[in-house]
Amino acid sequence: MNERKARGCTLGFILAGLLLTFAWSQKITSLERNRAESILHEIAADVKKHYYDPKFHGLDWDAKVRETKQKIDDADSGNKALSEIAALLDSLNDSHTVFVPPPPALRHDYGWQAQVIGERCYVLRVRPGSDAEAKGLKPGDEILGINGYAPTRKTFVKIAYFFDALRPQPALRLVLRDPVGQERTANIAAQMTEHHPGLGHTLGGRDIRDKIREMDWARESDVRAFEMGDELVILKFPHFHFNEMKIDSLIGKARKHKVLILDLRGNGGGSEDTLKYLLGGVFDKEIKVGDLVRRDERKPIVARTHGHCFAGKLLVLVDSGSISASEIFARIVQIEKRGVVLGDSSAGMVMRGKFYSYDGVGASITDADIVMTDGKSLEHVGVTPDEIVLPTPADLAEGRDPVLAHAAELAGVKLTPEAAGKLFPYEWPPQ
C-alpha cells in the first residue's frame, strides 16, 4: 500500500508539473468556465457512485473535488480548466480511470513511436518522410527527455497521455542518446491534419485505451501467423477482440504443431470473453482466472476448456506494451505452470473500467479490480517474465528481434534475431 501511494505521488507530480509549466492559449470565457464546472460536477459524482473502492485509496475525494473547482475558477483558458479535471482523475493513480478530452481540431502525428524497455525509453520506429526522420531520429535512440520530462517506466504513460491526448504540441523537444553513447537535442515537428469527426461523432461506450488502440486495429486488426514445419507456429496477437470462430481457427492451426509461441508484445488487451475463450483453447481443464472485485461484490471469472485444445509446449512473449487481458493471460500461464513467459515486464494496467460521456468529453471510471488466484492484483505490478530477454539499442537500430529468436530456440527451432525481426513488418497507418 505504501509503494502504491508513493508511486501515485510521483505520477501525480509529473502530470501536475506539466499542467503548471505549460503555456496555455485562448483566454477562458464565462461559458467555458461554467461548462468545465458542470463537467467536473458530473464526473465527480459518477466517480463517487461507481468507483470500485469507496474509500478512494485513502484519498479525500470531496476535498480534491473542491480543490479542483477552485483551480477551474482560477484557470486562464478552457483547455487549462478541462486539464484540471484530468489531473483530478489522475490523483486516483488508476490505469482505467482516465479523462478523455474532446476530439482535437487537428490531428498530430509526431512521426515516431517509443517504448520503455527495461527501465529506459527507446525510439522503436520512425515514420518515413517525417520531420523526425529529417532530424535524424532513429530506432535505438534512447529518449532522455521529452519537453524537459524524463520518460521512465513510471512516467512514460503520463507524459504520452499529456502530449498525445490532452495537449498535443506542434513540436516536441527530445534529448537523445544514440547506441554509441552520443547525446544530442532535436526539435521534432508534428505533421498536423484537420480532424472532422462529423455530426454523428460520439465518445460513448469507449475506453481511453480503445481510442489509443484505434490506429493499431485499423493497421493490423488480425492475428498474424508464421509456421515453421510441424515444429512451431508463432501467433502475433495485436489485441483481445476476436470472436470464438476466430479463436477456434487459430487453435486448430496451433494443434498441428508441437510448440506455440503466442506473441502478446504491444497487445493492448480487450474483451474478457476473448481472454476466457483463448485460455480455454490452451488448457484442458476449467481454469479460474481470478475474482472480479467491485465495491459491493466479489465474483469469480472462470474459463472453460474447449475439449479440443492445444496441448503442446506454450511460450508467451510480453513487454511494457502488454496491457490488461494480455497481462492476465500471461500470469495465468505462470500460475498454472502451463508454459514459459519471456520478454520484459508488462504494463501493470489491469482493471475494469466503464465509459461515461459528458458534453463532448468522456471519462473511463474503474468499477472493478481483478485479483488473481494467488491473491494479488496486477495493477501497478504487471507480470515479471520467467526469463527476462530484452533487445539492446543496437538490436532496435538494426531491426533485430532477439526475444522471438530466443523463444524459437527454446522450441528447438533455429531462427536468427535478424530473421525474427522481419517476420512481422510494421506498416504505418495513413496520415
Write the pLDDT tens digit of every residue in 93-104.
999 999 999 887
- Give the DSSP per-residue string, 280-348: HTT-SS-EEEEEEE-SS-EEEEEE---SS---SEEEEEE-TT--THHHHHHHHHHHTT-SEEEES----
pLDDT surpassing 80 at residue 203:
no
Q: What is the pLDDT of residue 366?
A: 97
pLDDT surpassing 50 at residue 34:
yes
Over residues 32-51, the mean pLDDT reads 97
Say yes or no: domain 106-194 is CATH 2.30.42.10: yes
> Which amino acid would we find at residue 366?
T
pLDDT surpassing 90 at residue 14:
no
b/e code 360-377 from CB counts within 10 Å (16+ = b): ebbbbbbbbbbbbeeeeb
Write the pLDDT tens digit of every residue in 281-293.
999 999 999 999 9
Report the percent of the chain where pLDDT is more than 90.
80
Over residues 357-379, the mean pLDDT reads 96
Please say whether the beta carbons of 51 and 62 come within 8 A: no
Q: What is the pLDDT of residue 202?
A: 36
For residue 350, what pLDDT band results from cuts at 50, 70 and 90?
Answer: very high
pLDDT surpassing 80 at residue 63:
yes
- Cα distances from 276 to residues 263, 272, 281, in angstroms, run 17, 6, 9
Write the pLDDT tens digit of every residue in 405-427.
999 999 999 999 999 999 999 88
On the 0-12 / 13-18 / 19+ scale of CB atoms within 10 A, 107 is: middle
Q: What is the pLDDT of residue 213?
A: 43
- Cα distances from 95 to residues 154, 235, 373, 379, 391, in angstroms, run 12, 27, 21, 8, 26
Stated length of the chain: 431
Q: What is the pLDDT of residue 281?
A: 97
Q: Dihedral angle at the C-alpha atoms of 128, 134, 139, 140, nearest 10 degrees?
A: 180
Over residues 371-380, the mean pLDDT reads 97
pLDDT surpassing 90 at residue 122:
yes
Over residues 206-228, the mean pLDDT reads 59
3 state SS of 397: helix
Q: What is the pLDDT of residue 103?
A: 81
Helix (H) or strand (E) run with residue 270 in it: none
In terms of Cα–Cα distance, which of 188, 183, 122, 109 is closest to 152? 122
Over residues 180-186, the mean pLDDT reads 96
Q: What is the pLDDT of residue 415?
A: 97
Helix axes 30-50, 78-90, angle to 10 degrees: 10
Domain ranges of the chain: 2-93, 106-194, 212-420
pLDDT surpassing 80 at residue 226:
yes
Measured between alpha carbons, how far is 214 from 210 in angstroms, rounded to an integer? 6
- Mean of pLDDT over the chain: 89
CB-based contacts of 429, cutoff 8 Å, min separation 6: 215, 218, 219
pLDDT surpassing 90 at residue 106:
no
pLDDT surpassing 70 at residue 133:
yes
pLDDT surpassing 60 at residue 298:
yes
pLDDT surpassing 60 at residue 1:
no
Cell of 6: 508513493
Write the pLDDT tens digit of every residue in 253-273.
999 999 999 999 999 999 999
* pTM more than 0.85: yes
In terms of Cα–Cα distance, which of 343, 322, 337, 340 is closest to 388? 343
pLDDT surpassing 70 at residue 312:
yes
Say yes or no: domain 212-420 is CATH 3.30.565.10: no
Report the percent of the chain where pLDDT is more than 70.
88
- Cα distances from 177 to residues 136, 147, 185, in angstroms, run 12, 15, 9
